[in-house]
Each structure stands twice: as C-alpha cells, then as structure tokens.
C-alpha cells in the first residue's frame, strides 16, 4: 500500500564529484540521510574517467556507484567548475529542465559555481526550499581581485533567493558576514563530517612507516591535500629546508596529486632536500599514512574547514595550520596544535621545531585532538542537516512523512 505522504525529495547539485572535501561532504550527506524520509537526487558535472591508472578517479567512481545504489544520479556535461559563459548557460538550462521534471521540495547546492547556477534554476522552477553550502569561499586565494569581486557580487545577489546558507565553521560564517553576503539569520554552521572509523584504529607507527618505506628514527611531518597553490605545500617544503639546515632530523610526506607536483618536486631538488621529501601521490590509505607521522601540517592559503586536520586529530597527531578560514576554529593553540600566519616559512619552521624538540608536548596535543575529533563526525553532521531541513520544511508548511521523527 502506498504511504499517505510521499518522501521529501531533496536534490543535491555539485560540479566536481571527486574525492575532494566538498564532494565527500555531499556523498556522506546523501548516504547518511534517512531513506524512509528523504528521496535523494544527485545532479553533478561530468564524471572522472575511472582510468585504471588513476586511483582517485577509481575512488570517485566507487562513490558514484554507492550513490546510485539508492539515489538517482544525473550528470550534466557542461556543469564544470571552470568559468565558461557558453557552458554555464547550457548547464543552467539543463538544470532548469531537470529540476522542473524532478520537482524536488528542497534544492541543496554545493560550492560556488553550482551554487549560483543551481539556486537560480531552483528559484525559476519555484522550488520551495533552497539551501546552499559554499564549502569555504572564493573571496580570496583562488582568483584575481576582479574575479573575486564578481563572485562576491554574484553571491550577494544569489543569497537573496536562498533560505539557508550552511557554513562549515563559525569563521566561515564571519567571513560571509564581513563581505555582506547575506543577513545573519539565514546562516547555519554545520561542520563537514568526517568518517572517523579508519583513523581511530590505525597501524602502529613502525609498521606504517615500514609499509610506506619511510625512514625510522626521524620526526615525520605529513600533509594531505591536492598539490595546488591554495594548499601551500611550497611553504612546508621551504620550512623543512630551513629546519634541515639547522640540523633537525625530519622527513616530509606529501599525500595528494595535482598540477603543481612537478614544480614542487623541482623545488626540493633546487633546495637540495629531495631525499628528505616523499611525494606519495593520491592514495586511499590516508589513515596508514597519518599513522606513520609524528606531526601534521596544513599550510593552506584558503580553507573552508580542513577535514584533513580532523583526520590527523583522530589519529592522535598534533597539528600546525595556517591562520585562515575554519582552521582557526579547529586548532586551539597550545592545546591540540599551533596556528601560524599564512605563507610564513619562519613561523611554520618554528612551530614544527617546538614539536620536534618536545615529544611530551606532541603526545599531550595529540591526545587533546583525539578527544576533540568526534565533534566533527559524519553522524553529527547528518543529524544537524536533518534538523535544518526539518526547520525549513516546517517554515514552508511542507507536509512531511507520517513516520518522521521530528
């Protein structure tokens, strides 16, 4: 027998459904919401090729397959991250057509480009509830001043048709308020959820180092992230060079792939420290890599929240991060790590040196981080998103399923 009320249809829109933080957040949300109450649809940009030589593409394809097991997945070839007037116009009309066919009660867009196109397509289609998660912002660090100013104007304009903007941290919310994107009342702070299980029961450090071919007896500093300018790996490499010149016994591990790999490898050769830096590429066994480390660094120039920080904290590592974005809400200086100025090689080297010289401080900070990490679990994120949806559903007088727990 058909239930007296349909499920609430929620359509998520994102450009790049890869293994980055925003896509993982979207994947965990789609997977975690109650299937008895929500009918999910995912609209995304073109899929990665799934080339057998590209482990990240294979992992992204696995996430898509997992979504397809219980969610309709629709790909739009022109829904791409890069700016292109013709592609963007084609993508907008494709979104308009799909949304009118699907008739969702909630549209939830992710990241700036999909957020602008998707929210306006939803508004023209008279979708009752429009939610947007920027997953950070592009106000600085990504584009030049003119492009950044254009995005700020577009975000302000599009916020006027948005029912809720979800920021990952209080700092991200403050940044949006600083640029007058929207009134405070429409913001909700919901962290980006992390699947903590793999990081809570990691390998013993010696075993993890042996598996990865990392030298024993040296202080290992790790970082995780796409090898791109905004992630700031160059700063870590230069700080490592400074420390090695002072005689510190350290070894650097960079996990991730990206367009700057060759340039960063060349920098290690130029600085004469190539034998002390390991580029591991993109890997699925992040937990094993972190288990091999003593210290975790995230020297980003812009960051929404820094999920890698939470993974490192769950592993029990002290963390050093840039004084930017939501990382300032996660790292408590002197308690679970240190915050350093953006791009400051000397300050980063100094913070790493303090941790290198004080194993007891590393242990204490690592334990503090391990206690804090569960606050950022995927389960807590899903609970908060469900509460937000429920509030918006009530405000718009949308009939919910009878078996709703709210």
In-domain check, residue 280: yes
In-domain check, residue 247: yes
Tens digit of each residue's pLDDT (9 = 90 or more) over 82-98: 878 899 999 999 999 99
H/E element holding 40?
Answer: strand 38-44
Are residues 184 and 288 located together in one domain of the fold? no
Tens digit of each residue's pLDDT (9 = 90 or more) over 178-214: 989 999 999 999 998 888 888 987 789 999 999 888 8
Kindly state the average pLDDT of the residues 21-39: 91
Are residues 93 and 165 located together in one domain of the fold? yes
CATH of the domain at 203: 3.40.50.2000
Are residues 217 and 353 located together in one domain of the fold? yes
Are residues 105 and 160 located together in one domain of the fold? yes
pLDDT of 19 reads 77
In-domain check, residue 22: yes
In-domain check, residue 331: yes
Interatomic CA distance for residues 28 and 32, integer angstroms? 6
Which residues, 6 or more positions from 202, have their beta carbon under 8 angstroms from its beta carbon? Answer: 208, 287, 288, 290, 291, 315
| 3-state SS, residue 126 | coil
In-domain check, residue 269: yes
Are residues 150 and 164 located together in one domain of the fold? yes
Are residues 14 and 161 located together in one domain of the fold? yes
Are residues 77 and 201 located together in one domain of the fold? no
In-domain check, residue 257: yes
pTM of the model: 0.83
Domain, as residue range, for 204: 197-375
Tens digit of each residue's pLDDT (9 = 90 or more) over 222-281: 999 999 998 999 999 999 999 999 999 999 999 999 999 999 999 999 999 999 999 999
Tens digit of each residue's pLDDT (9 = 90 or more) over 152-178: 899 999 999 999 999 998 988 998 999
Interatomic CA distance for residues 209 and 320, integer angstroms? 21
């Amino acid at each position: 027998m058909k239930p007296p009320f349909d499920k609430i249809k929620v359509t998520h829109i994102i450009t790049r459904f890869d293994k980055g933080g925003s896509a993982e957040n979207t994947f965990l949300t789609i997977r975690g919401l109650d299937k008895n109450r929500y009918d999910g649809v995912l609209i995304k940009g073109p899929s990665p090729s799934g080339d057998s030589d590209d482990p990240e593409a294979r992992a992204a394809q696995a996430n898509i397959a997992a979504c397809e097991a219980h969610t309709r997945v629709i790909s739009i070839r022109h829904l791409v991250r890069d700016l292109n007037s013709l592609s963007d116009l084609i993508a907008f009309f494709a979104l308009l057509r799909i949304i009118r066919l699907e008739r969702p009660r909630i549209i939830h867009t992710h990241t700036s480009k999909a957020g602008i196109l998707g929210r306006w397509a939803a508004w023209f289609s008279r979708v009752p509830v429009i939610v947007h998660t920027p997953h950070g912002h592009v106000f600085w660090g990504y584009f030049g001043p003119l492009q950044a100013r254009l995005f700020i104007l577009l975000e302000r304009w599009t916020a006027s048709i948005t029912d809720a903007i979800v920021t990952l941290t209080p700092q991200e919310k403050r940044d949006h308020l600083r640029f007058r994107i929207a009134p405070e009342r429409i913001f909700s702070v919901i962290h980006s959820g992390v699947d903590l299980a793999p990081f809570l029961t990691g390998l013993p450090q010696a075993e993890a180092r042996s598996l990865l071919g990392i030298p024993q007896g040296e202080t290992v500093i790790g970082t995780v992230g796409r090898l791109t300018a905004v992630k700031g790996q160059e700063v870590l490499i230069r700080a490592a060079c400074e420390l090695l010149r002072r005689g510190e016994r350290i070894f650097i591990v960079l996990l991730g792939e990206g367009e700057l790999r060759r340039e960063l490898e060349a920098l290690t050769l130029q600085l004469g420290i190539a034998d002390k830096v390991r580029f591991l590429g993109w890997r699925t066994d992040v937990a094993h890599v972190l288990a091999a480390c003593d210290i975790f660094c995230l020297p980003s120039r812009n960051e929404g929240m820094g999920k890698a920080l939470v993974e490192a904290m769950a592993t029990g590592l002290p963390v050093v991060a840039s004084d930017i974005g939501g990382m300032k809400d996660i790292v408590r200086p002197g308690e679970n790590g240190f915050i350093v100025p953006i791009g400051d090689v000397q300050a980063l080297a100094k913070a790493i040196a303090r941790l290198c010289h004080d194993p007891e401080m590393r242990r204490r900070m690592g334990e503090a981080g391990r206690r804090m990490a569960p606050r950022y679990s995927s389960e807590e994120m899903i609970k908060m998103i469900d509460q937000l949806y429920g509030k918006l559903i009530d405000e718009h007088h949308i009939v919910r399923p009878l078996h709703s727990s709210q």
